[in-house]
Chain A
Amino acid sequence: MSAPTAADPTDVLLEALSAAPGGFVELRWHKKSTRGLSVEKGRVDNATAAEHSGVGVRVLESGTFGFASTDRLEKAAIVRAIGQARAAARASARARTERVPDLPAVPLARGRFDAAGVDATLARPIEEALGLLLEVERGARAASTRIQSASTGYSEIFEEKGIVTSDGAKVWTRCVRPEFRVVAVASKAGEMQRGAEAVGVTGGWDCLFESRGAAELAERAARQAVDLLDAGYPEGGRKRVILSPALVGLLTHEAVGHTVEADFVASGSCAAGRLGTRVASDLVTLCDSGSSEYKDGAGGTLAVDDEGVPTGRTTIIEHGYLRSYLHDRESAARSGVAPTGNARAWEYDDEPLIRMRNTYIAPGSSSLEELIAGVEDGYLLDGASNGQADANGEFMFGTREAYRIVHGKRGPLLRGVNISGSAFDVLQTVDAVGSEFRWDLGSGHCGKGQPAKVDAGGPWLSCEVVLGGRKS
């Protein structure tokens, strides 16, 4: 599609801002360009280039927020949208019980922020990605005679944003997030099993395939699908388990991260009123960061959030004690703390919500072998699928692979199951934390009304959860 924007978009935004004075105004020009490819059984199902751009306008008027948008980066259209947002706020103010006070002054970002990998990724011809997908998909199908079908996919989101606010933010950002995925379906005697691998980063292709190449991911997916055909089921019940970095990522994101989002806290999540109290074993330090800590390329990396607040690292749990929630400007003002840079919007016509960025448990000192040796009767679980959590901290997430551990020895592969527990109860049972760190949830999206690119990860970790196994 079109080339990256050459002119600073904040110039037009500032012109519009000065033409519509009065009260708090936040203008966010957001251009999202995506390229997407998918291949199944040698056929191209998707070869897409798409662009979605415009200006989101948020105002604080009559003690409440109003939002409108325009698809034109033009002064007149933006001024008109500011008027619509103000009218919407005025029309709805009667329903607002607790008026939003003026937002206090906070340090806001100014300048240009480019994430790594933008130019190199955009310069890479799409034919190269398509060639890779076709080759890797062919390889996955050839991995075993039991493979019935394989598919590969590549997507790339290139985002440019210009953000200005009436209280001083002036930001121009660019980042690119490529993603690769492979799925293999194997069958035997009428039964089917599926193997899947995916990786997504903020950065270029070097970063995308830094840990594992596309062919290796495909080989793993095919092997997983075939091996699961002969695998049994774990037994259900409360068990000690070793979670892989991907599953630790799901635990931090689903079970803890959502419950400490300040909007959720205000509604009465299980984290409400627990700042300063013990919520986890002292082996647990859990953070959310706009940077890619420990390893480059985390999928939720961003320098500035969509309110123009610089992102940093927020320590949520420190050695077992709950230290902070995740805030936007409004919730931070109400709590009398600094915003944490967690306000994010999916597209220009979406309003910023409190969202995570890169959420993780800090690594400890144990090797994986030591963790396994420490389990008398339990399971090692790997491969994250979906996950959800409740306000009360009760979470559920899916695993793709399970291995029985008896007397400190790992047994054969079993089918993955969903696991459940209450977040803070589970974190209290952590008795060992591994030293190897990995980001592992950079592909896919977090959903909260709007999608968001996030990442999560951590080390291997030993804790107690409930497994949904089989009775037979």
Chain B
Amino acid sequence: MSQAALDRDAALGGDPAAAARAREDELLAACESLVGLALRAGAHEAEAFATRTDKASATFEKGDLKLAHVDEGASIGLRVFRDARLGFAATNQFDRAALETAARAAVALAAASPADPANRLPDARPVAASAGLAHAGLAAAGIEEAVDLGHGLVRGARAFDARISVDGASAGVLRVSQAIHSSRGVRAAESDALVTLSISGMALDGTEVGGFHYQSDAVRDPARIAPAARELVDAFARVTAGNLGAERARSSYQGPVLFSPDALLDLFVAPVLAATSAIAVQRGRSALATRLHERIASAGFTILDRPDDTELAGAGSFDREGQPALPFALVEDGWLRGWMYNGYAAAVAGRLSTGHARGGARSVPGLGAHAVSVAPGAGGSRADLVRALGRGLLVQRFSGSVDPASGDFSGVAKSSRWVEGGREVGPVRETLLSGNAYALLARIALVGGVAERVDGAARAPWALVDGVDVTAG
């Protein structure tokens, strides 16, 4: 950004809302200018999307401050269509010469691409502004607050258990503004502010190195920052210290496994998200393509996209194409309810986008969910679920791969515990999981009663799933 823009922001520092609006106006002006340049360069349709990020972060390594990082930067991306041919260019330089270069590059790429009748920009639709994204209380926060927060994470973990070695911790204050303008009348802008927290490490006891664990969060409400930091440290420390003394799982088996919210999202929700992309369905690579309006999961299992949930990082009022981002049911009580569409997939299907264009300024809009939320069920608390499991494996993190085409998964159960007689009896190591995510959706036996926030980006409960292959190392 220009020095003038930075000076103006500094002058408006006392009025956060005005400063955010000024940043949005500047981005909108840049987008408008770039769209104009693209049309003059030969584009028939053009869409520019720009972001500006101001960041202050402190990173800690082996329990000590490593680096204080302050930064501001902006990027702008241009998508053009010429005779229904796609071209895209992006730059972080906002001077006129750089924008002209980007416009020419995008049009040149479009000239080289084959035509596709679905290559057209979406029309403008009304967007209702989200409340609570850019809280005024975060406007003045900077490097000193980030250092204090990060330091608090490190101290908290050590205070919990001196055996914990904090490999890395970080805290940051992030202010993001974004804007979009297109030749089809789309015009929107929004600002957001977040505090990000993360901590990773392991516990050491003599020569024993416990299993690594990682925990993160993102918070918008200033009143929630301190409690969120405490909860983060507490959760991290409990798992990390609990990983010491791990033994091999007592047996290999095929049967029930209790999954944490994090593991549930990785193993069972991520493939559903991939398979409910309308593009995956249209291109013949969705395993759920023929199952719309069928029951694909056990009763009580519901997956929603909640861009209106401002406690989740992906919340916002519009998507990467300026279309309204609205609550959307993917799976309801086990029934597959709908596909996610961006503008391209909607054009192929001859319908409106569901507002699921995703991505930043530096790439062509993709397709995905904003803020995934798995609804709580009737399974009660974690302790209730452990009792229901009786004997077997409890998995807190999954480190492996799930093939979205087949649903086959295989990987290591991390920070896992062995359950015997309805209670957790100790940590286990070198235990592998495998199975098929789509098949096992129908074997979700119990869904926990509390949907926990996961990394500040999603919500999910604990869940007990039957039929999983467990291999003790």
B363 at the interface (CB under 8 A from A): yes
Q: How far is the CB of B279 from chain A (nearest CB, A)?
A: 8
The proximity string for A residues 340-361 relative to B, scoring 1 for CB distances below 8 Å and 0 otherwise, is 0000000001010000000000
Instruction: Give residues 1-18 of B contacting A (CB, 8 Å).
Output: 1, 3
The answer to whether A468 and B92 touch across the interface, beta carbons within 8 angstroms, is no
The proximity string for B residues 103-132 relative to A, scoring 1 for CB distances below 8 Å and 0 otherwise, is 001101110111010000000000000000
Query: Which of B64, B150, B209 has the most C-beta atoms of chain A within 10 angstroms of its own C-beta?
Result: B209
Measured between alpha carbons, how far is A415 from B202 in the docked complex, in Å? 33
Measured between alpha carbons, how far is A297 from B168 in the docked complex, in Å? 33
A144 at the interface (CB under 8 A from B): no
The answer to whether B90 and A44 touch across the interface, beta carbons within 8 angstroms, is no
The answer to whether B430 and A52 touch across the interface, beta carbons within 8 angstroms, is no
The answer to whether A466 and B65 touch across the interface, beta carbons within 8 angstroms, is no
Query: Which of B102, B212, B406, B410 has the most C-beta atoms of chain A within 10 angstroms of its own C-beta?
Result: B410
Instruction: Give residues 366-423 of A contacting B (CB, 8 Å).
Output: 385-386, 388, 390-394, 396, 398, 415-418, 420-422
A149 at the interface (CB under 8 A from B): yes
The answer to whether A268 and B405 touch across the interface, beta carbons within 8 angstroms, is no
A421 to chain B: which residues have CB within 8 Å? 430, 473
The answer to whether B101 and A2 touch across the interface, beta carbons within 8 angstroms, is yes
A388 to chain B: which residues have CB within 8 Å? 399
Q: Which of B64, B71, B290, B363 contacts A96 (CB 8 A)?
A: B64
Knowing A71-B74, A91-B68, A96-B65 touch, does A44 contact B116 (C-beta < 8 A)? Answer: yes
The answer to whether A268 and B75 touch across the interface, beta carbons within 8 angstroms, is no
Instruction: Give residues 283-298 of B contacting A (CB, 8 Å).
Output: 283-285, 287, 290
The answer to whether B430 and A468 touch across the interface, beta carbons within 8 angstroms, is no
The answer to whether B283 and A149 touch across the interface, beta carbons within 8 angstroms, is yes
A335 at the interface (CB under 8 A from B): no
Q: How far is the CB of A58 from chain B (nearest CB, A)?
A: 8
B60 to chain A: which residues have CB within 8 Å? 95
The answer to whether B58 and A92 touch across the interface, beta carbons within 8 angstroms, is yes
Measured between alpha carbons, how far is A126 from B105 in the docked complex, in Å? 11
A69 at the interface (CB under 8 A from B): yes
The proximity string for A residues 182-195 relative to B, scoring 1 for CB distances below 8 Å and 0 otherwise, is 00010100111110
B287 to chain A: which residues have CB within 8 Å? 192
The answer to whether A126 and B209 touch across the interface, beta carbons within 8 angstroms, is no
Q: Which of B81-89, B176-184, B448-456 contacts A (4 or more CB under 8 A)?
A: B81-89
A110 at the interface (CB under 8 A from B): no
Measured between alpha carbons, how far is A467 from B473 in the docked complex, in Å? 8
The answer to whether B61 and A134 touch across the interface, beta carbons within 8 angstroms, is no
Knowing A64-B65, A148-B284, A268-B165 touch, does A468 contact B434 (C-beta < 8 A)? Answer: yes
Q: Which of B62, B67, B105, B151 contacts A66 (CB 8 A)?
A: B67
Measured between alpha carbons, how far is A417 from B109 in the docked complex, in Å? 40
- Classify chain B's interface size: 35 or more
Knowing A385-B401, A468-B433 touch, does A417 contact B410 (C-beta < 8 A)? Answer: yes
Instruction: Give residues 438-472 of A contacting B (CB, 8 Å).
Output: 449, 466-472
The answer to whether A470 and B401 touch across the interface, beta carbons within 8 angstroms, is no
The answer to whether B471 and A237 touch across the interface, beta carbons within 8 angstroms, is yes
Q: A90's closest neighbor in chain B, by CB?
A: B68
The answer to whether A418 and B410 touch across the interface, beta carbons within 8 angstroms, is yes
B138 to chain A: which residues have CB within 8 Å? none
Measured between alpha carbons, how far is A398 from B69 in the docked complex, in Å? 35
The answer to whether B412 and A394 touch across the interface, beta carbons within 8 angstroms, is yes
Q: A76's closest neighbor in chain B, by CB?
A: B3
B66 at the interface (CB under 8 A from A): yes
A115 at the interface (CB under 8 A from B): no
Knowing A49-B106, A49-B109, A392-B209 touch, does A467 contact B471 (C-beta < 8 A)? Answer: yes
A95 to chain B: which residues have CB within 8 Å? 58, 60, 65, 147-148, 150-151
B432 at the interface (CB under 8 A from A): yes
A77 at the interface (CB under 8 A from B): yes
The answer to whether B403 and A194 touch across the interface, beta carbons within 8 angstroms, is yes
The answer to whether B362 and A466 touch across the interface, beta carbons within 8 angstroms, is no
Q: Which of A15-23, A209-217, A259-267 contacts B (4 or more CB under 8 A)?
A: A259-267
The proximity string for B residues 46-61 relative to A, scoring 1 for CB distances below 8 Å and 0 otherwise, is 0000000000101011
The answer to whether B70 and A47 touch across the interface, beta carbons within 8 angstroms, is no
The answer to whether A391 and B101 touch across the interface, beta carbons within 8 angstroms, is no
The proximity string for B residues 331-373 relative to A, scoring 1 for CB distances below 8 Å and 0 otherwise, is 0000000000000000000000000000000111000000000
Measured between alpha carbons, how far is A44 from B79 in the docked complex, in Å? 13
A43 at the interface (CB under 8 A from B): yes
Knowing A47-B110, A237-B252, A418-B434 touch, does A268 contact B204 (C-beta < 8 A)? Answer: yes
Q: B280's closest neighbor in chain A, by CB?
A: A149
The answer to whether B471 and A351 touch across the interface, beta carbons within 8 angstroms, is no
A238 at the interface (CB under 8 A from B): yes
Instruction: Give residues 301-350 of B contacting A (CB, 8 Å).
Output: none
A50 at the interface (CB under 8 A from B): yes
Q: B409's closest neighbor in chain A, by CB?
A: A418
Instruction: Give residues 204-218 of B contacting A (CB, 8 Å).
Output: 204, 209-212
B33 at the interface (CB under 8 A from A): no
The answer to whether B211 and A77 touch across the interface, beta carbons within 8 angstroms, is no
B471 to chain A: which residues have CB within 8 Å? 236-237, 466-469
Q: A468's closest neighbor in chain B, by CB?
A: B432
Q: Which of B3, B67, B201 contacts A67 (CB 8 A)?
A: B67
Q: Which of A81-89, A244-252, A283-291, A318-326 contacts B (4 or more CB under 8 A)?
A: A81-89
The answer to whether B69 and A351 touch across the interface, beta carbons within 8 angstroms, is yes
The answer to whether A471 and B252 touch across the interface, beta carbons within 8 angstroms, is yes
A126 to chain B: which residues have CB within 8 Å? 108-109, 112
Q: Which of A51, A89, A134 contacts B68 (CB 8 A)?
A: A89
The answer to whether B69 and A47 touch across the interface, beta carbons within 8 angstroms, is no
Knowing A388-B399, A398-B411 touch, does A53 contact B93 (C-beta < 8 A)? Answer: yes
The proximity string for B residues 393-415 relative to A, scoring 1 for CB distances below 8 Å and 0 otherwise, is 00000011101011010111010
Instruction: Give residues 184-221 of B contacting A (CB, 8 Å).
Output: 201-202, 204, 209-212
A41 to chain B: which residues have CB within 8 Å? 283-284
The answer to whether B68 and A420 touch across the interface, beta carbons within 8 angstroms, is no
Knowing A48-B89, A420-B473 touch, does A263 contact B61 (C-beta < 8 A)? Answer: yes
Q: How far is the CB of A140 from chain B (nearest CB, A)?
A: 13
Q: Which of A44, A47, A266, A418 contacts B61 (CB 8 A)?
A: A266
B399 to chain A: which residues have CB within 8 Å? 388, 396
Knowing A51-B91, A68-B70, A468-B433 touch, does A268 contact B209 (C-beta < 8 A)? Answer: yes
Measured between alpha carbons, how far is A134 from B85 in the docked complex, in Å? 14
Instruction: Give residues 25-56 of A contacting B (CB, 8 Å).
Output: 36, 40-54
The answer to whether A263 and B62 touch across the interface, beta carbons within 8 angstroms, is yes
Measured between alpha carbons, how far is A69 from B72 in the docked complex, in Å? 7
A467 to chain B: which residues have CB within 8 Å? 432, 471
The answer to whether B212 and A64 touch across the interface, beta carbons within 8 angstroms, is no
Knowing A51-B91, A237-B252 touch, does A43 contact B411 (C-beta < 8 A)? Answer: no
B143 at the interface (CB under 8 A from A): yes
Q: How far is the CB of A288 from chain B (nearest CB, A)?
A: 20
A48 to chain B: which residues have CB within 8 Å? 88-90, 109, 363-364
Measured between alpha carbons, how far is A469 from B254 in the docked complex, in Å? 11
Knowing A49-B105, A50-B362, A268-B204 touch, does A92 contact B92 (C-beta < 8 A)? Answer: no
B137 at the interface (CB under 8 A from A): no
Q: Which of B143, B254, B408 contacts A88 (CB 8 A)?
A: B143
Measured between alpha carbons, how far is A456 from B26 in the docked complex, in Å? 45
Q: B208's closest neighbor in chain A, by CB?
A: A392
Could you list 17 A-B pairs, sorted by A, with CB under 8 Å? A44-B86, A48-B109, A49-B88, A49-B89, A50-B91, A52-B75, A71-B1, A71-B92, A148-B285, A193-B406, A236-B471, A270-B209, A418-B400, A418-B432, A420-B432, A420-B473, A470-B434
* A interface residues (Cβ-Cβ under 8 A, vs B): 1-2, 36, 40-54, 64-69, 71, 76-77, 84-85, 87-89, 91-98, 126-127, 130, 134, 148-149, 185, 187, 190-194, 233, 236-238, 263-264, 266-270, 349, 351, 385-386, 388, 390-394, 396, 398, 415-418, 420-422, 449, 466-472
Contacts beyond the supplied A266-B62, A417-B434, A469-B434: 11 A-B pairs with Cβ under 8 Å: A77-B3, A88-B143, A126-B112, A130-B113, A194-B403, A236-B471, A391-B167, A418-B432, A421-B430, A466-B430, A468-B411
